[in-house]
Structure 1
Amino acid sequence: MVAKAKMLRGLACATGYACVAIGLFHVLLGNAAIPGAGSAGATVDSLGRFFGATFAGYGLGWLWAARRSPIPATAVRWLAGVLLLGAVGRLLSLAVDGWPHAFQVVLTVVELVLPPLFFWLADSEEKALRGVVQERPAAS
């Protein structure tokens, strides 16, 4: 149980830092941050920078959750659900418009694999801490 809790904290932190970095990258570079979108124009650039800021905020949500003790399972499930919804959006895009840049395909796979892992780990720290409390001897 403790190993799962450590895995949860590590993955939540890594996800948070990655999302903040990716989001800020998109805010700073606009269309240049999106493979194949370099000449997409001002509207797509504006949209990409806005979503970059939103993604950075999403990463801050992961970091907030990772810094709680215990990590709140409900927050992990909601954040993982949002990531999964993003993957569903990418799959819809694939169905409607065809295959994107190969890097986007890799991101889709990551976004499909991580949420089930987070759902499985979501309450591991809460359970580990409950186990520690239950193992303590009763006060006399």
Structure 2
Amino acid sequence: MHQFNINPLEPFCLQSDIGFTNSSALLDLQFPPTLSNRMSQYIPTEYTPFLLKGFSAWIIYNGASHVVRGITEYLTQTERAKLPSSTVSLMDSQIRFLGGTYIAYGAALCWTSYDIGERQLALNILLAGLALGGVGRAISAGVFGWGFPWLQRATTTEIVVPPLVYWFGSRKYV
């Protein structure tokens, strides 16, 4: 009995233990329902590397913005003047540091997207880190409130996107 594997780079070909076969030649074969279901699950995953690259570019851009602008991205001069200078210094330092880590995170995410099969563990660690960051934001919102409206969107994205990427995009590479 031949075993068939789906080749994600060739959506209209199947790879079997006897080599690559054009799928139109296999139309007469009867696939068990489980294999047919597995094939339909893989259809959207061909876009996973592209989507990860786009998301990583956005993260790198966001990180660069944090590094360049620091606290001025969030607080006006008037708002900063109301705070103690040590608080402004700490906030600016943290925002710029976070920007640098965003850049590194985006680069690592982009790197994993080039070979998800081989870099699945690294991708899963990055996704888990993003989800944990979202949980941290949610805890902060529970303690201090949301502050800025975009924090709700960021928190939702950080908690919801990693499981979706895993479930719909990367688990097939495992």
Which band: TM-score by shorter chain? 0.7 to 0.9
Equivalences for 1:1-140 in 2 at 5 Å? 1-34=41-74, 39=80, 41-68=88-115, 70=117, 72-120=119-167, 121-124=169-172, 126=173
Partner Cα distance (1:17, 1:71) in 2: 21
C-alpha contact (below 8 Å) 2:116/2:170 kept by paired residues: no
Partner Cα distance (2:43, 2:54) in 1: 16
Aligned alpha-carbon RMSD (Å):
2.2
SS, match of residue 17 in structure 1: helix
Higher strand proportion: 2
Distance 1:47 1:75, change over 3 A: same
Higher helix proportion: 1
Which structure has the larger Rg over C-alpha atoms?
Answer: 2
C-alpha contact (below 8 Å) 2:67/2:95 kept by paired residues: yes
Cα distance, 1:70 vs structure 2: 3.6
Cα distance, 1:2 vs structure 2: 4.3
Aligned residue type for 2:171: D
Instruction: Give TM-score scaled by structure 2 length.
Output: 0.65
Partner Cα distance (2:46, 2:122) in 1: 17
Partner Cα distance (1:100, 1:10) in 2: 33
Partner Cα distance (1:94, 1:122) in 2: 30
Summarize deviations over 1:63-88 as a string: whole Å, max 9, x none: 10012264622222111101101100
Return 5+ residue gaps in structure 2 as ranges: 1-40, 81-86
C-alpha contact (below 8 Å) 2:63/2:102 kept by paired residues: yes
Q: Between the two proteins, what is the percent identity of the paired residues?
A: 26
